[in-house]
Amino acid sequence: MGLVSGKVALVTGGAQGIGEAISMTLAKEGAAVAILDVNLEKAQETAVNIKKLGVDSEAFKCDVSNVADVETTVEKVVDRFKKIDILVNNAGITRDNLLIRMSEQEWDLVIAINLKGTFNFTQKVGRIMMKQRSGSIINISSVIGLMGNAGQTNYAATKAGVIGITKSVAKELGSRNVRVNAICPGYIQTAMTDKLSEEVKAKMIELIPAKKMGLPQDVANAALFLASDLSAYTTGETIRVDGGMAM
Ligand code: NAP
């Protein structure tokens, strides 16, 4: 028996990076996983890899910022898997620029995907979990939401906002046995950070007490804890997975 055997998980942005690692980790511990992403081809590859582990999985194309898309996709997931026990709001992007140069488009797009996307899924799936009288919602925030970062005003606003959503919804849904927690990853090796220059990477690593980048698996291990009954009495919490970066 795995830690989440028999449960159904929905992971947004699950095609690659941290979302893929979370999907694979939950699957290895027995959960069926619905992989949602704008990149359907990559999401399907992840679903195939999960099925090889002997658990059910299917990929769905979905843009988390589009309310109608979210509504129909959640319906499709429930039709297919009959319930949703674990929601991981992971899809996220960056559009970095200094505040004085930041365009309205750069601001709006990051808010729409990182913040409104989290609201969209939390509301639609939260309703289902309330009726079920059980569920675990895991929001992927960032240490940038705790510390701020020059060049990331838009991103920091969304990631701080995700912590606000986490605590508010944890208070609203606590009595219905629905737990809501956030993870703040630090500097993790994925496509999102691959695009940074070697100079920026070296500077970031200097700031981390552990003196190294984290791996998607490090974040997935925290997500497994929050998804499973090991964290049955934990809600409204924010867990840093950052090698000590933001303490
Ligand atoms: P990633 O490798 O870029 O993966 C993100 C996935 O989300 C991609 O498959 C992306 O598809 C998808 N996506 C983008 N926009 C979407 C949308 N509107 N609807 C649905 N899916 C969408 O990023 P990651 O590094 O794994 O990051 C995952 C989460 O962790 C994000 O919320 C990020 O902010 C957070 N985080 C990451 C780090 C880090 O160091 N990597 C640190 C702290 C927090 P496309 O590639 O096709 O756009």
Residue 195: predicted pLDDT: 86
Share of the chain above pLDDT 70, in %: 100
Residue 82: predicted pLDDT: 98
The answer to the question of residue 246 being in a domain is no
Residue 226: predicted pLDDT: 99
Q: What residue numbers bound the domain in which 192 lies?
A: 8-237
Question: Which residue in 60, 119, 121, 155 is the catalytic one?
Answer: 155
Per-residue pLDDT, averaged over 93-105, amounts to 98
Residue 130: predicted pLDDT: 98
Q: Are 184 and 142 in contact (CB under 8 A)?
A: yes
Amino acid occupying residue 158: T
Which of 113, 196, 219 is CA-nearest to residue 157? 113
Tell me which of 11, 16, 207, 215 to substitute to probe ligand 1's pocket, judged by most ligand atoms within 8 Å of the beta carbon: 16
CA-closest residue to ligand 1 atom 32: 92
Per-residue pLDDT, averaged over 125-132, amounts to 98
Q: Are 64 and 13 in contact (CB under 8 A)?
A: yes
Ligand 1 geometric centre to CA of 175 (Å): 31
Give dist(CA 165, CA 212) in Å, integer.
30
The answer to the question of residue 37 being in a domain is yes
Give the pLDDT band (50/70/90) at residue 230.
very high
Per-residue pLDDT, averaged over 103-118, amounts to 99
| pLDDT tens, residue by residue, 18-53 | 999 999 999 999 999 999 999 999 999 999 999 999
Per-residue pLDDT, averaged over 71-82, amounts to 98
Ligand 1 geometric centre to CA of 1 (Å): 30
The answer to the question of residue 247 being in a domain is no
CA-closest residue to ligand 1 atom 45: 39
Q: Are 214 and 240 in contact (CB under 8 A)?
A: no
Q: Is 142 in the pocket of ligand 1 (CB under 6 A)?
A: yes
Q: Are 13 and 90 in contact (CB under 8 A)?
A: yes
Give dist(CA 180, CA 234) in Å, integer.
8
Give the pLDDT band (50/70/90) at residue 235.
very high
| Tally of structural domains, the chain | 1
CA-closest residue to ligand 1 atom 44: 142
The answer to the question of residue 105 being in a domain is yes
Summary mean pLDDT of the chain: 98
pTM above 0.95, yes or no: yes
Q: Is 221 exposed, middle or buried (0-12, 13-18, 19+ CB in 10 A)?
A: middle
Ligand 1 geometric centre to CA of 233 (Å): 29
The answer to the question of residue 231 being in a domain is yes
- DSSP one-letter string for 28-91: HTT-EEEEEES-HHHHHHHHHHHHTTTS-EEEEE--TT-HHHHHHHHHHHHHHHS---EEEE--
| pLDDT tens, residue by residue, 173-196 | 999 999 999 999 999 999 989 988
| pLDDT tens, residue by residue, 198-228 | 998 999 899 999 999 999 999 999 999 999 9
Place of tokens 């940038």: 144
- Give the domain CATH number at 24: 3.40.50.720
Share of the chain above pLDDT 90, in %: 96
Higher pLDDT, 203 or 100: 100
Q: Is 166 in the pocket of ligand 1 (CB under 6 A)?
A: no
CA-closest residue to ligand 1 atom 19: 63
The answer to the question of residue 204 being in a domain is yes
161 has pLDDT over 90: yes
Active site residue 233: no
Amino acid occupying residue 192: M
Ligand 1 geometric centre to CA of 84 (Å): 21
Ligand 1 geometric centre to CA of 21 (Å): 12
